[in-house]
A and B are shown apart, each in its own frame.
Chain A
């Protein structure tokens, strides 16, 4: 890694090193220096090479079969704030109890320092539970999902009263890039996506404890407009199997005062547009290649199809309202399967297609992480 950083910081020196001897003509060697400097100056190259251009279409996954429905109900129908987490050092799935004790002690210690507290009662009113959600991992490389819950109860309640869930969060890795996961040293566990919901002060305490205990970095994860378009397309693709209710897209236009446009599409119309775009692309492929290979591609979704789908919606809007939505940014996508916001909030409303969504978010987290 040092070699990379030195190359990025001192490109001028590397030009000197690369310069060839005087055996070649001046112009040739100069051109090779210029070429070498210009490509050594950019690390790590184009990001589009690392982005997937095609994904597998989501299926009504067997998530409901393999995961405990009680735990699943904790994950769906709640709005989560996303963060990326760098690989955790010395994280053991067997030591969860001691982690719960450590986290509780940390929170208690921080509270006694005089931070503003929103909870009533003494410190013993908090209880931290770490648990493993089994069955969510798709490949052998994925680590099991870890769920963290913080309960509280008031001082005056008896032992039998139910505890209120104050904060919950889960660390997960669904189908993370196998090259990356396998390249990590043995002590590291890769759980790049952290979803948290609850009081802000508890979130920051949990994050700082995780950073201290496992030597990782946690930062906020935004979902940029390309990924929101992917989600819109993948959810629309599920329409024939389970009704998506409606496809709602929200755009923000940079005018003064800022204009927010909510564009709601009837699901059947969205499905017709989507399938006609896919059919069109497959026909074009067949024309170009002359071989009927397009028929077998029903499983995978390409970035071209997604771009065309969104362009189709934008053109329709332009024809009616004379407003070009390309001037703004896509800020929210919601269907009956879930809601995703640009600020990094996600709500999964139905457990059937959860895997595809989480796969996409895991990939976002892995890309956003400082490598």
Chain B
């Protein structure tokens, strides 16, 4: 199986590589345009619809520092495709180099069970769950800024902080029943 491996290549100098995986291929282009505007670091954005990535690019592909799965909650297919793609990542990515980005979380037509499924998935993978608003340019810029923060840490460009340390602070948690009873 062609797994995407996090540490098999050498990193670039003052560069960070991010991979955006989205089944609908709508938000990733706008997010990519917002991400490359960063000037302090050279950000390379790679776009994909699903994993596994094509083998012919294997040699020329740089080391991917952060993999972001964009899930549109209004479509069930989006969630299924993201879950299927997760299997093609090497386990080394789940130490802080994976992020889930969710759009349309506030949409009334979305069944609430779907967001709960995504939260449970993010909690089981110990990765952060970001909610983004993709209809306005401001929303896209905000999402890009948040991704850049995580990307810089994952690429090792922030001193004294590693991806694993950051993921411990930002990971999505799901309250268990025992905690919930004590709440009242």
- State how many angstroms separate the Cβ of B183 from the closest Cβ of chain A: 8
* Interface status of B3 (Cβ within 8 A of chain A): no
Inter-subunit contact A328/B116 (CB<8 Å) = no
* Interface status of B174 (Cβ within 8 A of chain A): yes
Contacting residues of chain A (218-256) with chain B, CB-CB under 8 angstroms = 222, 224-227, 254
* Interface status of A326 (Cβ within 8 A of chain B): yes
- State how many angstroms separate the Cβ of A41 from the closest Cβ of chain B: 9
Inter-subunit contact B75/A328 (CB<8 Å) = yes
* Interface status of A127 (Cβ within 8 A of chain B): no
Identify whether the interface residues of B are mostly helix, strand, loop, or mixed. helix
Contacting residues of chain A (156-177) with chain B, CB-CB under 8 angstroms = none
**Given that A46-B116, A46-B175 are known contacts, is A327 also in contact with B109, CB under 8 Å in the complex?**
no
* Interface status of B80 (Cβ within 8 A of chain A): yes
Inter-subunit contact B75/A34 (CB<8 Å) = no
Inter-subunit contact B112/A48 (CB<8 Å) = yes
Inter-subunit contact B180/A38 (CB<8 Å) = no
* Interface status of B169 (Cβ within 8 A of chain A): yes
Contacting residues of chain B (147-184) with chain A, CB-CB under 8 angstroms = 168-169, 173-175, 177, 179-180, 183
Inter-subunit contact A46/B76 (CB<8 Å) = no
* Interface status of B40 (Cβ within 8 A of chain A): no
> Chain B 10-27, CB within 8 Å of chain A: the 1/0 string?
000000000000000000
- A85→B9 CA distance, assembly (Å): 60
Inter-subunit contact B77/A327 (CB<8 Å) = yes
Contacting residues of chain B (107-160) with chain A, CB-CB under 8 angstroms = 108-113, 116, 119
Inter-subunit contact A326/B119 (CB<8 Å) = no
Inter-subunit contact B175/A326 (CB<8 Å) = no
Q: Which residues of B contact A226 (CB under 8 A)?
A: 111, 113
Report A's interface with B, CB cutoff 8 A: 34-35, 38-39, 42, 45-49, 51, 222, 224-227, 254, 324, 326-329, 342
Return 28 A-B CB contacts under 8 Å, by A number: A34-B168, A34-B169, A35-B173, A38-B173, A39-B179, A42-B175, A45-B175, A45-B180, A46-B119, A46-B174, A47-B113, A48-B112, A49-B180, A222-B108, A222-B109, A224-B108, A224-B109, A225-B109, A226-B111, A254-B75, A326-B75, A326-B76, A326-B77, A327-B75, A327-B76, A327-B78, A328-B75, A329-B75
Q: A226-B111, A326-B75, A327-B77 are in contact. List 19 more A-B contacts (CB 8 A).
A: A34-B168, A42-B175, A45-B180, A46-B116, A46-B175, A47-B113, A47-B116, A48-B116, A222-B109, A224-B110, A225-B109, A226-B113, A227-B111, A254-B74, A324-B77, A326-B76, A326-B80, A327-B75, A329-B109
Report B's interface with A, CB cutoff 8 A: 74-78, 80, 108-113, 116, 119, 168-169, 173-175, 177, 179-180, 183
